[in-house]
Chains A and B, each alone.
Chain A
Amino acid sequence: MLFNSSIFFAFLAISLLLYYGSFKFRALQTWILLGASYVFYGFWDWRFLALILGSTVVDYLVAQRIQDSGDNKARRRWLWVSMAANLGVLSFFKYFNFFATSATDLLLLLGMQPSPMTLEIILPVGISFYTFQTMSYTIDVYRGKMPATRSFRDFALFVAFFPQLVAGPIERASHFIPQIEAKRRLSITQLEEAIYLIVYGYFLKVFLADNLGVQVNRIFEDPTKFSGLELGLGVIAFAGQIYGDFAGYSSIARGVARLFGFDLMVNFRLPYFAIDPSDFWRRWHISLSSWLRDYLYISLGGNRAGKVATLRNLVLTMLLGGLWHGAAWNFVIWGLYHGVLLVAYRLIGWPKKGWDEGWRRWPLWALMTFFTLIGWLIFRATSVDQILYFLAHFSLETSPNTTKIVGFLAIYWTPVLVFEWIQHRRRNLWVIFEWPLVVRAVILGLFVALTIAFGQRDSMEFLYFQF
């Protein structure tokens, strides 16, 4: 059930009716939302409902055992049960074939003849998101940051809440569960914020991402048909596609959650205005980068064990972050690439104090944008060979088609870049609410009009669903 499908709109309308129809009964509202979330997930594949339920039951019980155990060893053992269960499920469904194939390839390289051992495994939608979400809960309970919830219903909703179930943001229990327990209300301003988030989300997804995706697919399907400059434009198009797709989805998820009175964390803060790798990761997929920082980087020792260990922890965290994105070597390389970038900037001490102000931002920004685009090439490429092909063939060489591709990118990128440039200048993601009512309303109307008139009608599935 994609967000940009008519069945989703019907589902959302019915869910809202039932939810607000029982506004006097908070518990019933929670049950309705939970039921709706399972219906939503079951629509993707009903067979995996058992998996998400199983994950929910395990972590619900484990968290209580952690809390109730007086003994630190017992608490740690229970935590390992949660980690093993979640990572075990994730490893099997997502990484089994990857590791099996890689091991086979390695043995072949060493001159052996192993028999291939892959399975026909279907990747459950959203598994990377909800397993990380539940692990953050048990870790937070273990660390004493929050008490274990005694309500299975509330915990189940935290795990399965449909707006963010299949592609994030990866919520924190300490932020979300109190919202379930509290009385929910939707003020007029929150409703307006929800509408804006949803409208802008669809604009990013349907207008920007899906249209650029057409060009991206063409170029990456057969790069030999395109000139050197066009290959570069293809990477720029992908930068737009992945941002529009993922930030668009997050925005819709947050807007829909807000319609039910829930606040989800901000997941993107204008990532293409970053001036260095740390800045980029404070702006891109924030729910994942903060998860990796809080539960992996800090657990590895963070920056507390000396410079070398800090750099090692950075690289390892980013490498695993890359692997999270997918069971393929290009994701691992992408993660490693960003880890190396972080380390490199730290070692040379960039940006120096004062460099992030005035005109000095520009060269820093240009360099970071270049690095980001190389990263996206690694991310999108279908093989290591393709990465090398692109790198070897980038040039300023044009063809008769180049102007068309430039025009195409300009048409779809420009409205987003202009709007987000204004957000950047005002340091306000909701700059639209600073504007007079008429201006705000006209902009909203134009977003809707452009989405309908120029949006890709046979819409592509959200990219991040494959993770």
Chain B
Amino acid sequence: MAGQPLSPGERVGIRLYCHGLGDCFLLAFPRPGQDRPFRMLIDCGVVLGTPDAKTLMTAVAEDLHAACEGHLDVLVATHEHWDHLSGFNDARAVFETIEIGEIWLAWTEDPKDEQAQALRERKSRAKSLVQRALERRPVVGVQSIMEFFGARSGEGSTSAALEWLKKHPAPKRYLEPDQQIGDLIPGVRVVVLGPPRDEKLLKKSNPSKGDVFELSPRSLNALSTALDALEDANLEDDGQPFDTYYRISEAEAKDRAEFQDYLAQPPRRRIDTDWLSGSDELALQLDSDTNNTSLALAFHLAPKGEYLLFPGDAQVGNWRSWHSLEAVRIQEILAGTVFYKVGHHGSHNATLGEDGLGLMTHPELTAFVPIDEIRAKAKGWSRTMPWPGLLRELTKRTQPGNLLLADQAASERSGFSRGPDHGERPLYVEYRR
């Protein structure tokens, strides 16, 4: 695509970056009578902790700058996670030089939307509570979840990347489920599948039976009241269970014989921070809530009724909601899906089973998993990302050569063509149809 137009008869070309654990896809659709195809970028990021991420993302951005000839007709940001947006921070200088026609975001990012405002407010409260809890009780896994939001604050944060997009002069579209955009890309109708408006589905993250666990607002309040009081001695802690008469402060206890045995114990056998363990749940909830706000798009390619599916990191609830869409029949879309960008780097809960992948019956189904197992392992997620059960199912449903994991891009797959090498593997592969 870099100066290399689509061949006649091709209806789409997708450059799939294989730079690491993160999403970045450049789509090109032919524009009849014009040399320059219609170009759309979906996300641009890599997970926090990737070595030399800035250089890497700059390389990605420069390549896509060249490929799109400095002009993106549409830029899509699926959701507020670092592994989807870091490029807009780390390679900001490159993106400043790219013309952007329109920016598409989910309704959950709409500053004027009341439901979205409430969601964001809850999210920011939860984020700050988890961060405060982490300071007292460091848990590696929770830390890694919080890293999806980038550095703690300021320029390096994921929300800063999102803010840059929101403030960009290009016109924005905040997309709603069931919305269709048929007049923009020649021969292509874009179907918006999610995120859903139904908050119950928006919160559902797990395929298992039973309800989603949620920390009640009451428990959240109790945790934050206690943290407030511990952090600021002048604050009154109205969550104290007993009259102040009974209190023996921790400092005082250090000088009292009756507590010496206990205080001499290693922290592992003490309970200093166990009361904050509820924040683990909160972090998990926060992560899946954010993933569930993913803008999920399907591209209908005329004339054969074939679809490309880009669900972002949509989790179970988002997927489920597609079954209640009114303007489209999801069964038809999934049955016609010829290309599937596997959600959430192949985790267990971002590809619906029976009612999702199970309905993707197209014989030429091609799937791409933006995963880097070494990175996932370094994060401590080795065993479940990608989820072996999902890989098995994907292998079953695709022809040999039509399933590609980004970190295996060095080996040939007939369904993809390789780009130039960048280190040990190509910077990208291309899918054309």
Note whether A and B form a binding pair. no
Q: B interface vs A, CB < 8 Å?
A: none
Q: A interface vs B, CB < 8 Å?
A: none
